[in-house]
Amino acid sequence: MRWRISVAAFIALVSFVCAPSAALAGSGTQTFLLVMEQPNTGEAANGDVAAVIGEGEFSIHPKSVEAEGTFTHTDSAGNVLVTGSWTATRLLTYQSYGCGVVFGTPIPPDLCGGKVRMRVVLTPDGTDLQIPAVLTVFCVIGDKRPTSVEEGIRLVVPGHVNFNEATGGENVYIRIG
């Protein structure tokens, strides 16, 4: 009888300790793979387009990012102006749109969407230039996304050009932790 009371007390204690942590799971450490195998695009007011591909990993609580890729800047006529590479230097924000559903259709639960915003350094091909910028990647997976969100990127290059309108692409955040 004493053994049953001990087991019951242990289960009650575990339930009490674990219940609050489950409720706070959204504020715990989460790690995602960022996968952009196809060009994700953003357009500037003058019609120029930035196309970005890349991959990496980012975590929240604490914030960290390790990602890199390539970019192409074309003018409104489609002429290539600049190509180069980008490297993430700091995760600024991550807003989750949810996981496991896209436009009402169930998908694997580790596939997630949202808005990830990070500081990056752009390095045009053939140069040693290190141009600071802010890259935001939008993924439409999830049931909490704003209806006006388009898959793609925004790329703000202070003092140069701002690709403020996400215009398409394919990317995914894969939850790995």
State both tokens at 27. 């504020």
Q: What is the mean pLDDT of the chain?
A: 87
Contact 69, 55 (CB under 8 A): yes
Residue of 13 and 25 predicted with greater confidence: 25
Q: Do 101 and 141 touch, CB atoms closer than 8 A?
A: yes
Query: What is the pLDDT, as a whole number, of residue 14?
Result: 32
Q: How confident is the model at residue 51 (pLDDT cuts 50, 70, 90)?
A: very high
Q: Is the pLDDT of residue 8 over 70?
A: no
Beta bridge partners of 31: 59
What does the pLDDT read at residue 38? Answer: 96
Compute the average pLDDT of residues 172-176. 97
Binning pLDDT at 50, 70 and 90, where does residue 29 land? confident
More confident residue, 24 or 173: 173
CA angle 42, 47, 52 (to 5 degrees): 25
